[in-house]
Structure 1
């Protein structure tokens, strides 16, 4: 958002599983000195946790959510005018930004129509013109200084399932014909160990 000309973007957290833990972590980061401005929900009860109407009203400049929910939201909003047959509006799924990244990767899908592809290219040009990697580097440095690593490590340790703590051995490999859907990418390692524990 800062690379797109919003000097002090507002941040909202979508009201899905993990929203309150995310709110606590971000507020701890803020208390430690990281410059973050929370959006205020349009609902009467306010707060930085956003509801569906906040999504449609564009209440925050930045909406924090898990990757699967974010993907669904972008697909629905960009393909609403076509009844879901293809994505006709928007800028794709945004850039892949991470600490130390030096290459800009813009994300689109098979369902992205020409207007979305064009929007993603314009978005990429704006990010490059406004030095996205310099902005990202400064943001990561400020977040680290405010204790981002320690905040994340504390939450990971508290959420770690018992299966991940044990030394579980991989069972013999076998051909399978089924899959388990709905595993969050960040939980894959723990999911594998949970399956190994029951000899799968």
Structure 2
């Protein structure tokens, strides 16, 4: 659209000399309140701010928020994904989803993220966990759940989220033209007040239109106010404020501290030369242990004189024990922080 065409359609035109000037003017207009939101490409968000994408899932045509898709919420994987969950909830609520369901994509760290979110939920920050469409259920989502759009908010790390945005938006076009969805979404983070929506060079006209609509939804829904309310509620439940030291609050950061303690205990058991108890026929599967902790969990059971083996079921990693040892094994795994 040329400047003359824009004026003819009642659109304001703001001049800038170069790309840096464009971003500077954009920020000025946002901060002054003249603009409520904007859509752009390749914007450099500060650390702690990441974007919440919005897609239309192919299985059933449901909309789903992907938290997050660009930027970075921090420097620790588990803590980042816990933050991403809160960011996604805020974006969904600002778009009118009053009680968004939350699923955690089955990637590295998913079980630790689930434990951290359930701890927040138990401390008073309400999280409505989605249930996988698979027969075994649970809040950890698989590929089926992605395609069906089971949760309102799908939590993942940013690199995975970015890949998912590419797939959902351009799987019908061969990958070089994003033809559906709402783009990579707004940057969300504590203390961040701008609604800046991200597109890519491959975003086609339908996605640009979707991003503008998404921006309007967020502006009308007061994303900044909703996000700050979510952050305040999460802080009351133990989520750390920016700059707080590790371990001060029961959140993703504390989950990382607890994980370090689990790993230290596992190293101690290995150093102690824990031997396997007498082998048994193992027929009961215990899911829910993170893949990175699987062998350590087995060693912990051996130390408790419970024979166990590691395995990989169709839904992810499993610890296998004899049927009669199930209750004792579950108790040990919970006490040691593996479940």
TM-score normalised by structure 2 residue count: 0.46
Deviation track 1:67-97 (CA, whole Å, cap 9, x = no partner) reads: 0000001100100110112111010011111
Match of 1:39 in 2: 130
Q: Distance in 2 between matches of 1:22 and 1:54?
A: 18
Return the match for 1:10 from 85, 94, 101: 101
- C-alpha distance in structure 1 between counterparts of 2:172 and 2:253, whole Å: 42
| Aligned counterpart in structure 2 of residue 128 of structure 1, from 204, 219, 235 | 219
For residues 135 and 174 of structure 2, what CA distance do their matches in structure 1 show?
32
Q: Distance in 2 between matches of 1:49 and 1:153?
A: 20
User: Which structure is larger by alpha-carbon Rg, 1 or 2?
Assistant: 2
- State the alpha-carbon separation in 2 of the partners of residues 129 and 152 from structure 1: 31
Separation in 2, partners of 1:132, 1:40: 26
Q: Which residue of 1 aligns with 2:255?
A: 155
Q: How far is 1:62 from its partner?
A: 0.2
1:50 maps to 2:150? no
Deviation at 1:104, TM superposition (A): 0.8
| Equivalence map 1:103-118=2 (5 Å) | 103-118=194-209
Which residue is 2:4 aligned to? none
Q: Which runs of 5+ in 2 are unaligned?
A: 1-91, 241-248, 261-339
CA shift, 1:54, in A, is 0.2
How far residue 154 of structure 1 moved from its aligned partner, in angstroms, is: 1.6
For structure 1, which runs of at least 5 residues remain unmatched after alignment? 161-200
TM-superposed deviation, 1:21: 0.6
Which of 6, 21, 26 lines up with 2:117 in the alignment? 26
Larger displacement relative to structure 2 (43-52 or 83-92): 83-92
Aligned residues: 160
Q: What do you get for the CA RMSD once the two structures are aligned?
A: 1.2
Q: Distance in 1 between matches of 2:116 and 2:105?
A: 14
Alignment of 1:137-148 (within 5 A): 137-148=228-239
**8 A Cα contact 2:93 2:226, kept in partner:** yes
Structure 1 residue 148: Cα displacement: 1.1
Query: Partners of 2:253 and 2:142 in 1: how far apart?
Result: 28
Could you tell me how far apart the structure 2 residues matched to 1:159 and 1:112 are? 40
2:176 aligns with: 85
**Residues 143-152 or 44-53, more deviating:** 143-152
How far, CA to CA, are the matches of 2:161 and 2:110 in structure 1?
13
Greater helix fraction, Structure 1 or Structure 2: 1
Cα drift, residue 158 of structure 1:
5.0
- Secondary structure (helix, strand or coil) at the match of 2:154 reads strand
The counterpart of 1:68, out of the listed 131, 156, 159, is 159
Q: Secondary structure at the match of 1:148?
A: coil
Of Structure 1 and Structure 2, the greater strand share is in: 2
Equivalent residue, structure 2, for 1:197: none
